[in-house]
Amino acid sequence: MTPLVTVTSCPPARFLASLLHRGTQQASKFQLHTGTPCAVKDYYEVLVLGGGCGGISMSSRMKKKVGAENVAIIEPSEKHFYQPLWTLVGAGAKQLSSSGRSMASVIPSGVEWIKSRVVDLEPDKNCVYIDSGKEISYKYLIIALGIKLEFEKVKGLPEGFRYPKIGSNYSSKTVEKTWKALQDFKEGNAIFTFPNTPIKCAGAPQKIMYLSEAYFRKTGKRANANIIFNTSLGAIFGVKKYADALEEIIKARGLKVNYRENLVEVRPDKHEAVFENLDQPGETRVISYEMLHVTPPMGPPDVVRESPVADAAGWVDVDKETLQHKKYPNIFGIGDCTNLPTSKTAAAIAAQSGILDKTISKIMKNEKPINKYDGYTSCPLVTNYNRVILAEFDYSAQPLETFPFDQSKERLSMYVMKADMMPFLYWNGLLKGYWGGPAILRKVLHLGRS
């Protein structure tokens, strides 16, 4: 790995490195201690559902607002993962162990950890039910339950992962199989898929394709590899500026992209993948593979889909500017489980957390929220083992870039930020409630340019 000092010679990168350093010093003053499951009370002022990125970050923020003893988080998992790192884990650039920490270590000290699963939401009664049957009431509810992986919607999965040559960067159980399939590849088709559903990190399905192509070149296998990206979408990326840059890369590297193709079946014993032509429903074709990376269909968690807080599609129905529920004013949503019309990424959650913090502050004072979420999200498009295109955009799919240079260009500095700086900022800034996205940094850098 290139030393950080080598790639922070430009003023924006130096500024970011300095900001991160100061953040570390500040975070150390407010060190959060290991949390443990506590005796469950019947009522909390703020109840948070979900121990992922959105749930932990909002628990930290609510602790500062109402006191730790008045906040509880419901989460059954023992482990918390920084999932954006899995792209690099699947490509052999990072270890899976570096992406995870114990749930106890990331829950803010004093905040009660209810180590259970939410099984029912009763917003008209201001309560939820957990798998033990216990009813827990709240004054304010924050829903951060993430998104559900639905491998079973592809015939032959998830049992197909027992076979070689197939992996997925979307699960801690299958991401290392991607790296194994990449290493074992000899010749033939390497296929990468994008499903016909909303997904988290919509750039990830193609990131592993670029990294695989780079690995094949590095190991002398590229001439014998036919690299195919079969996507249900009609374009390589939703923002034209970055789509144009990616299409140039695809052309230069001889990659094959098939649009409007959806994976419907895997035959792992035969090393075959079956795709449906979405423009001709019912029409399918079979492609043999030497390597297959599956991005699974995804959907809202069942407990959300089946509850009164859901919209017609099953997502938490929130105002896209304030993140307050449209029907229940004391309920809020953040992250992948919501119907916010933006990409489902950790960067989006960071920006949402800052706005939601302000929204809840206003609601607690019986005032109208005034801060508005603009849909900011970011997708660091890893195009090589040392290059990233940093895509940043808003609700209108217009670039909303932080740095005062053209971010549609592949850059080493952006790779270092993706691989090393952002994980640090995630663990020490976002989860602890100190990082609400790059809006302030963007203003500082662009003012400096002007």
pLDDT digits (tens, 9 = 90+) for 386-420: 999 999 999 999 999 999 999 999 999 999 999 99
- Position 15 scores a pLDDT of 47
Mean pLDDT is lowest, of 129-143, 164-178, 349-363, 434-448, for 434-448
Spell out the domain ranges in the chain: 4-147+300-449, 149-299
- Position 40 scores a pLDDT of 72
Report helix, strand or coil for 162.
helix
- Position 447 scores a pLDDT of 59
- How far, rounded to the nearest angstrom, does the alpha carbon of residue 205 sit from its chain's CA centroid? 12
Nearest 5°: the CA angle 143, 149, 153 is 135
Is the distance from CB of 158 to CB of 145 less than 8 angstroms?
A: no
Question: Alpha-carbon distance 149 to 152, whole Å?
Answer: 9
Is the distance from CB of 282 to CB of 264 less than 8 angstroms?
A: no
Q: Does the annotation mark 10 as catalytic?
A: no
388 is written with which tokens? 């990233």
The string of pLDDT tens digits covering residues 342-386 is 999 999 999 999 999 999 999 999 999 999 999 999 999 999 999
Catalytic residue, chosen from 53, 127, 201, 337, is 201
Question: Alpha-carbon distance 401 to 387, whole Å?
Answer: 17
- Position 442 scores a pLDDT of 85
For residues 99, 103, 109, 111, the Cα torsion angle rounded to the nearest 10 degrees is: 130
Residue 226 has pLDDT above 80, yes or no: yes
403 is written with which tokens? 């740095």
**Domain 4-147+300-449 falls under CATH 3.50.50.60:** yes
Which residues lie closer than 8 Å to 317 by C-beta, 6 or more apart? 309, 310, 311, 325, 326, 327, 333, 339
Task: Tell me which amino acid residue 212 is.
Answer: S
What is the CB neighbour count within 10 angstroms for residue 41? 14
- How far, rounded to the nearest angstrom, does the alpha carbon of residue 170 sit from its chain's CA centroid? 10
Task: Tell me which amino acid residue 66 is.
Answer: V
Report helix, strand or coil for 293.
strand
Is the distance from CB of 418 to CB of 380 less than 8 angstroms?
A: yes
Handedness of CA 278, 399, 296, 255 (dihedral sign): positive
The string of pLDDT tens digits covering residues 60-91 is 999 999 999 999 999 999 999 999 999 999 99
The string of pLDDT tens digits covering residues 272-321 is 999 999 999 999 999 999 999 999 999 999 999 999 999 999 999 999 99
Nearest to 70 by CA among 38, 25, 104: 38
Catalytic residue, chosen from 53, 127, 337, 379, is 379
CATH superfamily, domain at 149-299: FAD/NAD(P)-binding domain (3.50.50.60)
DSSP 136-160: EEEEEEEE----EE-GGGSBTTTGG
Q: Band the pLDDT of 7: cuts 50, 70, 90.
A: very low
117 is written with which tokens? 């699963």
Q: Band the pLDDT of 37: cuts 50, 70, 90.
A: very low
Q: Please indicate whether the domains covering 4-147+300-449 and 149-299 agree at the CATH topology level.
A: yes
For residues 340, 342, 345, 346, the Cα torsion angle rounded to the nearest 10 degrees is: -60
Angle, helices 346-364 vs 53-66, to 10°: value is 30
Residue 337 has pLDDT above 70, yes or no: yes
- Give the residue-averaged pLDDT of 322-330: 98
- Position 39 scores a pLDDT of 60
Q: Does the annotation mark 38 as catalytic?
A: no
What is the CB neighbour count within 10 angstroms for residue 365? 8
Is the distance from CB of 261 to CB of 276 less than 8 angstroms?
A: yes
Residue 263 has pLDDT above 90, yes or no: yes
Nearest to 20 by CA among 439, 413, 435: 435
